[in-house]
Structure 1
């Protein structure tokens, strides 16, 4: 059996987990998340923790048990603590401004770039060159951060662009005559 799938998911105080037919709903302080349960996996709740087990002895069920366990752990962590991604803007005149559910970017184009945030995602700009994306669903937070970064990914010669806060850009040497 998968080593990850064997570990129980501890459910903290203030988080409610409901397992119905083939759907799991996790509710907490930061919202509610739901996910369908794969038919190769069985999920049960015992004494403040969730246990994931493969439905049969196939390799696919074994692999899926680890995947479902990781997804459940992310759901529980998301509704209790939340997830965040920090982006930084590098470049002269590059700036960001959060206005409600919209992110306005001035990143060297002739026009401003406006990104609408999906439901459940909040965006803040502590400074003009920092963007903080927060939410309960880890996958959505990461996807929104990737979409914002894709507007102007860091270029390899000067390093200008939008990058993750922990990202290191390796600069290339310019062409010599």
Structure 2
């Protein structure tokens, strides 16, 4: 089984990654998902109230793993901060249902030059609970090895923080020591030195 549809251009890649992670899923083709997505992260209007946003989150949680996969697919090409923030909050609450899809998208982001998705998925992975990401730590560690060498400073910074917060200390130190010798940015070099001295 493979992923049928995500946002344009990503379905085949995510399907292949899902297969690699052993968690393929067939996405639901419900038109209301796009409508719910448009409402995520709203701050004003009838969908901007706390009550409306809480109800929307409950609705997304009911979609389970299929909804998580759909949201992850949207985030691969999302650039608007409110949509990223709202979707990230929902995925964090979906926990284990979201984790394999977030890891798959992070792997895909690591192979591309897209900065926003890489930072977004690094932050989500970092903030997921330990139980949800535990089964995926070997894959996450491999991805972090690539992302600490990313050309973009924001991606490297997010990768450094994810290493520090998520990986066991000795493993994080190995990953970051690898990068320290190459880091030219003084701010990031200081962060690495500070962590490695601990």
- TM-score where L is the length of structure 2: 0.26
Normalized per residue, the structure richer in helix is 2
Say which structure, 1 or 2, has more relative contact order (CA 8 Å, 6+ apart): 1
- TM-score where L is the length of structure 1: 0.28
Q: Which has the larger radius of gyration?
A: 1
Normalized per residue, the structure richer in strand is 1
